[in-house]
Amino acid sequence: MKAVVFHGVGDIRVDDVPEPEIQHSEDAIVRLTASAICGTDLHFVRGTMAGMKPGTILGHEGVGVVETLGPQVRNFEPGERVVICSTIGCGACAYCRSGYYAQCDRANPNGPQAGTSFFGGPEQTGPFDGLQAEKARIPYAHTTLVRLPEEVTDEQAILISDIFPTGYFGAAGVTCATSVFSPSATSSTIFRGQTFFLMVLPTTVSLRQVTRSALAGVAGGTALAAAGAALWNSAASNRATMETPQKDSFPEP
């Protein structure tokens, strides 16, 4: 199959690569019908985010059709259209059960203190091959996939994979962003800052909840912008009940 593959800084190619296979019982194989380029991908291309492993398939935004399911994935069927969440969470650990999927203790094979796992990222995020490909393996598919209503188009759904919930969380947590980032930060510090930003984000709304809320708005005939406005307007009430998840430790920059 064809895929967009990282070979080095400034060296990104469309390669022929082997098709993904089920590796674990909670995996799924999804045939991509839409994907997108994120600003995060540009960090890898330019070399402003360290740790990329040559041969990694890029991309963490995707919409597709379920082709194959592992035996433990019982909430989807082959042939269903899905949007793929950009971050990977097991759905069972304490953080996932609290809605903090980006801080999953099980998804990252580098260990519970390694930080967020997402598709097509640096080695410290897994790595997991990404979604700028004809097909992708989706770990913890029962949590990482969200079913799409028939009336939601690929063009609408692709926004829900990453950019829409990222924008929501960015707006909700803008007050803490300035304390995390600094103009003089190195690329490795910036990466850790992004992980830390996800960890301390002051909201009790999860990416999955934002995704499902936005999809409900689209399916009900409401424009995506209107769904975004509704979510933004709810931020004040969410912030009134904020809880900040705590990790036992955090790697020094």
150 close to 215: Cβ distance less than 8 angstroms: no
Instruction: Give the single-character DSSP code of 132.
Output: S
Q: How confident is the model at residue 217 (pLDDT cuts 50, 70, 90)?
A: low
pLDDT for the residue numbered 134: 98
Whether the predicted pLDDT of 114 surpasses 80: yes
pLDDT for the residue numbered 132: 97
Fold of 2-239: Quinone Oxidoreductase; Chain A, domain 1 (3.90.180)
**Domains of the chain, residue spans:** 2-239
pLDDT for the residue numbered 173: 59
Q: Is 140 left (phi over 0), alpha (psi -120 to 50) or beta?
A: left
pLDDT for the residue numbered 210: 56
Mean pLDDT confidence for 63-90: 96
Whether the predicted pLDDT of 83 surpasses 90: yes
Q: In the numeric block, which tokens belong to residue 99?
A: 């809605």
pLDDT in tens, 135-192: 999 999 999 999 999 888 999 899 888 888 777 777 665 544 444 443 443 333 333 3
